[in-house]
Amino acid sequence: MWNEETREKLRKEILPALEKEAWSLNDDMAEHPELGPREFESSRKMVEMMRTHGIEVEYPYCSVETAFRAVINPGGKKKAAFLAEYDALPEIGHACGHCASGMASVLAGLAVQEVRDTLGDVQIDIIGTPDEEWGGGKVLLQRAGAFDDYDFAAMVHMYAVDGVEARFSAIDGIKFVFHGAPAHAAACPEKGRNALNAARLLFDSTDMMRQHVIKEAIISGYIAEGGSAANIAPDRAVVNFNTRAPKRVQLDDISDWVKDCARAAALATRTEVEILPDGVDYDGFQPVKSELQLLEECFAGIGRPLGEDAGVLAGGSSDIGNVASSCVTFHPVMGIGKGLEAHTREFAAAMTCDVTHRAITDSATLLLELTWRLFTDDALLERIKKDHFDSLKEI
């Protein structure tokens, strides 16, 4: 692994020499946003940039058309992955800042390539992870084993202020299709089997669940189909549910209980129910104390010590949780302006500003600092690994 002298050279010479190239591609992606999983130009341009710098890139990767894996110093026993996102949002473009966070990982990789002769037994990969917003690109990669062999994976997300704490709930999407029997509501109601009644019972029973699940759990749903006329007993009803809990081990039990409620509703109404997945299920992301402490030290180490207004990116769900189910994973946030809110036009407009350019470079610096600390301190790395995987087992 690189020494102190090379560490300073990366910060003071190599990153400054490369940053404008990274900023330029960030601005290009911000001006030409692509939705996942159709980020064909964004992923291609990232790959071309890395190949121009002599980095080997597999593209596509794991049968995901816009995913890639760039490898620096292949064969190293210690392995780190820098994750690059690049999908945008409908109508409001890069309002989540993935152009900038993705380019931070690429910039870090370009810098490492310049000092590859100092890596020794360390291999560093840049993995392009498409379609975070909707389709869970990281989930597809994780299920293909893409993250199994890494000591850690890391990325930096853009946010209003700096912070180390990002927490996301595990989520399942479940579709219930109830099948009954149609009948005229006045002439022969006894011949009908009301699928909408089954849907209503499902909602009643899940409401009764709420007092007996953890307070952090969220159970939400809506009736997508419930009949076509008031004088016909509905023979089909479709219900879409989301269930959430901080950890996958917690959510599995909650989702199973909701499915039991659907089966019970079908039994009570003499209907049938199909239980289908609705979208991609995500694991939770709940970093442990030792991971957060290390990130705080890294922020201080790059000259951006956290203040009392340190950001906490929480709520909702993200496919980063599935990466964390396979390896130690870091997801800090880098500030680009107090008061800015992600998923807004104002956030998208900020992507080409000087403050975001600086955040790209500082995020790349943070990734290098994190890598240096973990791969020059075996005891620290092993302690964080133990804490991480122990936490996945806790309920």
Question: Residue 153's closest CA among 312, 382, 367?
Answer: 367
Task: Indicate the pTM of the whole model.
Answer: 0.93
In the chain, what's the furthest Cα-to-Cα distance?
88
pLDDT tens per residue, the chain (395 residues)?
Answer: 999 999 999 999 999 999 999 999 999 999 999 999 999 999 999 999 999 999 999 999 999 999 999 999 999 999 999 999 999 999 999 999 999 999 999 999 999 999 999 999 999 999 999 999 989 999 999 999 999 999 999 999 999 999 999 999 999 999 999 999 999 999 999 999 999 999 999 999 999 999 999 999 999 999 999 999 999 999 999 999 999 999 999 999 999 999 999 999 999 999 999 999 999 999 999 999 999 999 999 999 999 999 888 878 777 899 999 999 999 999 999 999 999 999 999 999 999 999 999 999 999 999 999 999 999 999 999 999 999 999 998 86
Question: Residue 164's closest CA among 304, 284, 305, 310?
Answer: 310
Cis peptide before 182 (omega within 30 of 0): no
**What residues contact residue 174 under an 8 Å CB cut-off, 6+ apart?**
240, 241, 242, 243, 255, 258, 259, 275, 276, 277, 278
Which sign, positive or negative, has the C-alpha torsion 270, 271, 277, 278?
negative
Report the interhelical angle of 15-31 vs 354-375 (nearest 10°): 130
